[in-house]
Chain A
Amino acid sequence: MRRKSHLRDSIFLTSLFTIAGIMAVFFPLSYFLTTDLTEDNALDYSRQLLGQIKNSIEFYTEEMIMVSDYLAGHPDVLVYLKGENPLAPSSVSLYQQRARIASELKAISGTRQDLVNVILFREDGNFISNRDHVGLTPYWDYREFDWYKETIAARGLPRLSSSRVENVIAGEHRWVVSLSQAIYDRDHLLGVLLIDLNFQTISDICSNLSGQNGAYVYIQGANDELVYHPQQRLIYSSVKSERFDLVRRSAAIESVTRDGIIYSSVQIKSADWVIVSVTDTRQMVQISPLVIASYIGIALIFALIALVVSLKASKRLTDPILELKNSMQNFQQGDFDAKAEITVTNEIAELGEQFNSMTQQIKTLVEHERLIEEQKRKSEIQALQSQIRPHFLYNTLESIIWMASSGEQEKVVEMTSSLAKLMRASASKARELVTVQMEFDYVSHYLRIQKLRYQDQLQYEIMIDPEVRQARMLRLTLQPLVENAIYHGIKPLRDGGLILIRAGRAGSELLVEVADNGVGFTPDAWMLSPEESTDEGESIGLHNVHDRIQLLFGKPFGVTVRSAGPGQDLLDESGFDPAAGIRTVVAIRLPLVYE
């Protein structure tokens, strides 16, 4: 059963694979289009983000430099740094100077919450802080630290540190970014100014602005150390790594994309820091389980639609084909009435109609062939029946014998000659259609024999319109008519009779007429079928001729009989001489053909 369903299978598979193919093309396409768009947006976002963070950080660092420059050039500061030990009793004015500077530092840090420490270190170890009551740590000498050494080395230029833990204040460990500047009197170092910016300010800028869609920002310092990184503990312990090789130290924002990750970097003014934003676009263009579920759902719905549609479609297609197939099988088994009843209207319906009309034609052809075969046989039989009868032969031979014995030499010769010709013509295997002339020759041989037998009792006359001499007529059709006229018309008469035979044209037809002035007969009599006929010879002859003509030429043609019946004259329509007293006219109507 399954093997017979090939058509359904292929229809179903075709629709299924078509849908699968569409999905296989559509889904990746939409995915990659989305990806592309997202990546472009991510790049824009990453550069915008970087620009914002750069501006914010520059704002803070520049402000620190401004403060530093202001203090480094402040006359009170220079006086203080150059002065003697302010705690010495002789330096009251210096002590006041110190207080003025301290309030200046306080004022500066008071306006700016993010400035943790503003400390002025004097070379001799004295210092002024913006905060009251803080002491320097007793455990360290700040002059031993790198930041201090580097500040001295920078020779008066402000130096921005990396993020660091400020450890100069006793008991405090705060994350800061330090701006430090050495203050010189010509080549003589007076002291160092230290401004600590709460590092939280910078880390907040970086963490608040990033953190969305897997994007983050980090800051790389002058020596490639990390000033800020959201996961720097992981990086220092090598759990995570950063593509430092992709970072460009450039004043303009530069972006590099590697493996779906966008690295944008820019160097800030006033410091050797590079801000880097890392945007993982792979995390943006993720396909959520919901999307996958809906893809599968859509696929499921498509598959169901494919199933239903293909079942319907295949049914629509295969049902008529099955119907056609059944009809064909019936037809093959000989049922010529087999018809394909197809209700749909498509090519298969046309096929069905053509099949139906084909069976119809075949049926008609077979029928026709059978009919023709039957008629042919019948025609042959009738042709045989139309041949000279043995009875006539006996009579003729007897007449010859009788003539011979009475010494009528000439008559014997004539009769024998005519008989020979008659026999030859009758038995010849000529075609069905012969010329009118040939048929009349044949009849004239016959009539000559009969004339010799019946002497004066039989008068006859043959008239052929020369126009129809070469026209064709059916062989052996005239003789039976003449025979009929002799035996049924003339013979019963005591005084003998007259037979007129005429051939001519009537319109487009050939008209051959045999007329006699014999006893006449009921017109219906000959129409009876041969079986019903009481008198064999009569009706068989006419009937055969009529049938043969109609078989060959069709309905309007054939034999017609007009007879006055016993004791009456035929109505004078025949065109024969009224003096002849014609009572019966048997006519053959044929199409006028010459070949």
Chain B
Amino acid sequence: MHKKVNRLFIFYWPWLLIGLAVSALVAGLFLPLQHKPYPYRIIAIGKASTQGTAFWYSMAEGMAAAAIEFQVSVDYRSTVDESEVGRQIAIVNQAIAEKPDAIILAALDADRLVEPARAARAAGITVVMVDSALADVEKSPQQSFIATNNVLAGQQLGELVVQRVRPGAKILVISPSTRGDSLIGRETGVRAVIQDAFNVLPTLDTGGQLSDEIYHQVSQALIDHPDVEAIVCLNEYTTAGAARAIRGASLTGEVTLVGFDSSEELINYLEEGLLSAVVIQRPFNMGYLSVTRTIDLLNGRKVEPFYDTGSIVITKDNIYTEENQKLLFPFED
């Protein structure tokens, strides 16, 4: 009798499985009605602290907005400045050890961050790049990349020079680093426009240092090249450092300065006329979209490999337009 019952149970297992499949189907009918993603844990690793730069402040703000809207947790971490590649690798490795659902990374070094990113992918962690990608986009472990199209932004910078400076003039390009993908892109864009028409000096690599140090480096450069007519800076604090150096050398109006990104300080320089123009990015959008794209990936949806958040030229005349003032002045102080 027992044997018979056992046999019957074995025989009915397929039916039980069918029953389960039906149940799962019924439950599955409700899944599309669900809008809330699972409470994913995302670690974002930027290039600089939110206190140090307006750019990364806005970036973290955008990430936080998306985190609140989609009920995920986003933990923003960063190095103090852009020179600490080794430190950023350590931060990535630490993040991998914490087993988050995803890592959003702005690579300080397009080559050296490839291995840590691979390790993250191998650990089943979704990797989305923001602002600065990894080298060799085709083969890199990144699943999506949200940033300004830096080559185009660099070209915008180049156009600003063309509009303001006489052909053949001596031009200094200042970059905080020559390893970050975003900076490489900008420099490529700038040089594509100005290389032939002007006398472009070799790029001054400030080595990731902050404005105070840059002030000295640029002041020295202005002494070394007294005939420089224009300076092109590839990020926020090199622009600030260069502006201070120009003022320090009493060259306001003599040297045309075009820069990248914005801050309260840079806006004052723009109003003053010390700074001729800046190309700004949309760091808030970048942060927000990097999180939404990451959630899309985690939910198994297809995501474009690259999303361009765009860049805008700001001069003294368009600071207070409806859109631009909201981009240039973060709400909270």
Tell me the A residues contacting B by CB distance below 8 Å: 2, 5, 8, 12-13, 16, 19-20, 23-24, 27-28, 31, 137, 139-140, 145, 164-165, 167, 171, 173-175, 199-200, 203, 211, 214, 225, 230-234, 236-237, 239, 280, 282-283, 285-289, 292, 295-296, 299-300, 302-304, 306-307, 311
With both chains docked as a complex, state the minimum distance between the C-beta of B317 and any C-beta of chain A, in angstroms.
11
16 A-B contacts (beta carbon < 8 Å) = A24-B26, A165-B328, A167-B319, A175-B329, A200-B332, A214-B69, A232-B326, A236-B323, A236-B326, A237-B285, A239-B288, A286-B35, A292-B27, A299-B23, A299-B27, A300-B20
Contacting pair B12 A173 (CB below 8 A): no
Q: A167-B320, A230-B65 are in contact. List 17 more A-B contacts (CB 8 A).
A: A31-B30, A139-B271, A145-B320, A165-B325, A175-B329, A203-B331, A233-B327, A236-B323, A237-B323, A280-B35, A288-B36, A299-B19, A299-B23, A299-B26, A306-B19, A311-B5, A311-B9
Contact residues in B for A283 (Cβ distance below 8 Å): 35-36
- B contact patch SS: helix
Contact of A20 among B5, B19, B34, B69 (CB under 8 A): B19
* Complex CA–CA separation, A237 to B205 (angstroms): 32
Contact residues in B for A203 (Cβ distance below 8 Å): 331
* Complex CA–CA separation, A292 to B29 (angstroms): 10
Contacting pair B11 A165 (CB below 8 A): no
Q: B27, B267, B282 — which one has the most chain A CB atoms within 10 A of its CB?
A: B27
Tell me the B residues contacting A by CB distance below 8 Å: 5, 8-9, 11-12, 15-16, 18-20, 22-24, 26-27, 29-31, 33-36, 38, 62, 65, 68-69, 264, 267-268, 271-273, 282, 284-285, 288-289, 309-310, 316, 319-320, 322-323, 325-329, 331-333
Closest to B61 in A: A233
* Complex CA–CA separation, A200 to B333 (angstroms): 10
Contact residues in A for B20 (Cβ distance below 8 Å): 299-300, 303
Closest to B267 in A: A173
Closest to B288 in A: A234
* Complex CA–CA separation, A315 to B40 (angstroms): 50
Contact residues in B for A280 (Cβ distance below 8 Å): 35
* Complex CA–CA separation, A12 to B267 (angstroms): 77
* Complex CA–CA separation, A300 to B8 (angstroms): 19
Contacting pair B12 A27 (CB below 8 A): no
Closest to A140 in B: B271
Contact residues in A for B323 (Cβ distance below 8 Å): 236-237
Contact residues in B for A304 (Cβ distance below 8 Å): 16
Contact residues in A for B12 (Cβ distance below 8 Å): 12, 307, 311
Contact residues in B for A282 (Cβ distance below 8 Å): 35
* Complex CA–CA separation, A27 to B268 (angstroms): 61
Contacting pair A164 B26 (CB below 8 A): no
Q: B23, B62, B319, B331 — which one has the most chain A CB atoms within 10 A of its CB?
A: B23
Contacting pair A233 B284 (CB below 8 A): yes
Contact residues in B for A20 (Cβ distance below 8 Å): 19, 22-23, 26
* Complex CA–CA separation, A109 to B5 (angstroms): 88
Contacting pair B30 A292 (CB below 8 A): yes
Contacting pair A13 B34 (CB below 8 A): no
Contacting pair B15 A12 (CB below 8 A): yes
Contacting pair A287 B30 (CB below 8 A): yes
* Complex CA–CA separation, A286 to B30 (angstroms): 9
Contact residues in A for B282 (Cβ distance below 8 Å): 233, 237
Contact residues in A for B329 (Cβ distance below 8 Å): 165, 173, 175
Contact residues in A for B289 (Cβ distance below 8 Å): 239
What are the 5 closest A-B residue pairs judged by CB atoms, nearest first?
A299-B23, A303-B19, A139-B271, A286-B36, A236-B323
* Complex CA–CA separation, A20 to B18 (angstroms): 11
